[in-house]
Structure 1
Amino acid sequence: MHMEQTSGSDTPRRYGTLTRLVRDTLREGILAGNPAPGQKLPSEAQLIDKFHVSRTVIREALSALREEGLVEPRRGAGVFVLDPAAADGPALRGIDPKRISSVVEGLELRTAIEVEAAYLAAARCSPLQEEAIIRSHHEVGACIRDGRSTVEADLAFHLAIAEASNNRRFVEILSLLGHEMIPRAALEGKEAATPTAYLERLYEEHRLIVNAISSRDQIAAREAMRAHLAGSQQRYRAYLANL
């Protein structure tokens, strides 16, 4: 795998994206038994050479794996793989998409984070970060038009806003939630297709968030995100009730 080498001028958005890519690649290997439990990961220098990223990206990816209980740094010896079966995993996992109370808990957590992330994104986002938000918004629309799943594009949209806040903690928490932050993700392909009206309303709410961020209107961005997540709760209740 080749990843572009980062530099001191890279944006926090770029760092966050590369960190997730390295973390996810290493996690997949660990879960597949490569390296096996008890074995040592390659050194920082070897990982930098393998992924073509900075030391900061490698250290943040390893830190995320340590928090998941998948690796253990040992002073002077390196970073060792732990048994994935014994790992507790991220504390934020475990949202049950078929239990309304569980989904509401997840959406309430997202509201606490994403409302402020949208507010900060309107004040802090760079042109590249704004472009990423707009691009992911357009991708949601393209998925709706083509009849494709919107889950990945929806997730990318919300992560792009978190990254544009330039507060990496927001990105970390939403990344821990992963696909579980999109409640319908677990139902697509197993139950009835998500109604078009549901998706079109979601797309319109996204548009209001994008417009507010692009206009650098922090209050409007905050309220548009709040209204979107409140609407998600209401729509999901109706969606699940009709399955």
Structure 2
Amino acid sequence: MTTTLAQRVVAGVKDKILAGVLPPGHKLPSETELVEEFGVSRTVVREAVTRLRAEGMVETFQGRGSFVLAVPEPTSFTVESAAIRTHHDVLDMIDFRIGIESEAAALAAARVDAASAEAVRAALDAFVAAAPEDAVEADFRFHRAVADASGNRFYLDLLDSLGPMMIMLPRTRLGDAYSLTDAGHVDRVRREHADVAAAIGAGDVDTARAAMRVHLGNTRRRLDVGRA
């Protein structure tokens, strides 16, 4: 029920954004105002804002509130968070990512130069240094840097169409099994990211492919354990 109510709030806010009622840079109504407008609980409103962030529609600043981002340009491939409803859907998304991102990492290693290696390393460093509230965005930025390093714009376009949602969804759908506020989990992800970055920097195609596959495969297994 909470999910359905949150979808209604998301749809209502998105309609206002797309209609220009809430233009880019405009602050979202307060939590209290959204509760009153949609007749839902604060928990529902918070879930809705989390989904809007995952879809790249808004950005939240601590102590300031949430602000509308520029409306993304339409693409031929889009997946909205509401389309991924079940545990099986989340696992299917990860399987999809394994196929795409493993090859992107391999191509990044094959085409590596000083600039692309540094960009991937910088994204890794940013993830390592990220505060818990910024970890989802930093995680996505690392994966995006790998796609960018591939030199194939279609990998980058695909990841941009998914956005931070691809990192956020397992957490919002399955709870603590995939929590980027859990120190142990974050440490494991950091090590896995570091393996990917090192292989790309070394120009080791097979190891880069394998490291990304291991990373996303471990994500899948962690979700299965959390579900059990």
Match of 1:101 among 62, 85, 88: 88
Amino acid at match of 1:208: D
**Which position in structure 2 is the counterpart of 1:222?**
209
The whole-number CA distance in structure 1 between the counterparts of 2:196 and 2:108 is 10
**Which position in structure 2 is the counterpart of 1:169?**
154
The whole-number CA distance in structure 2 between the counterparts of 1:152 and 1:185 is 14
Runs (5+) with no aligned partner, structure 2: 1-13, 24-71
The whole-number CA distance in structure 2 between the counterparts of 1:217 and 1:204 is 17
Which one has more relative contact order, counting CA pairs under 8 Å at least 6 apart?
2
Indicate the structure with greater helix content: 2
Find runs of 4+ consecutive structure 1 residues off by over 4 angstroms: 95-98, 190-193
Match of 2:221 among 234, 237, 242: 234
Alpha-carbon distance change, 225 to 181 in structure 1, aligned in 2, over 3 angstroms: same
1:133 aligns with 2:141: no
Match of 2:134 among 146, 149, 155: 149
Match of 2:198 among 185, 188, 211: 211
RMSD (CA atoms): 3.3
For 1:109-164, what per-residue CA distance to the aligned partner results, in whole angstroms no more than 9, with x for missing partners? 11111000000000113322211111110111112xx4443111110000000011
Q: TM-score normalized by structure 1?
A: 0.58
The whole-number CA distance in structure 2 between the counterparts of 1:185 and 1:104 is 9
Cα shift at 1:97: 6.4
Cα shift at 1:236: 2.6
The whole-number CA distance in structure 2 between the counterparts of 1:110 and 1:152 is 17
Alpha-carbon distance change, 238 to 165 in structure 1, aligned in 2, over 3 angstroms: same
- Count of matched residue positions in the alignment of Structure 1 and Structure 2: 165
For 1:24-69, what per-residue CA distance to the aligned partner results, in whole angstroms no more than 9, with x for missing partners? xxx9x972528x9xxxxxxxxxxxxxxxxxxxxxxxxxxx83546x
Runs (5+) with no aligned partner, structure 1: 1-26, 37-63, 69-89
Larger radius of gyration: 1
> Identity of counterpart residues, as a percentage?
31
The equivalences for 1:6-45 within 5 A come to 31-33=18-20
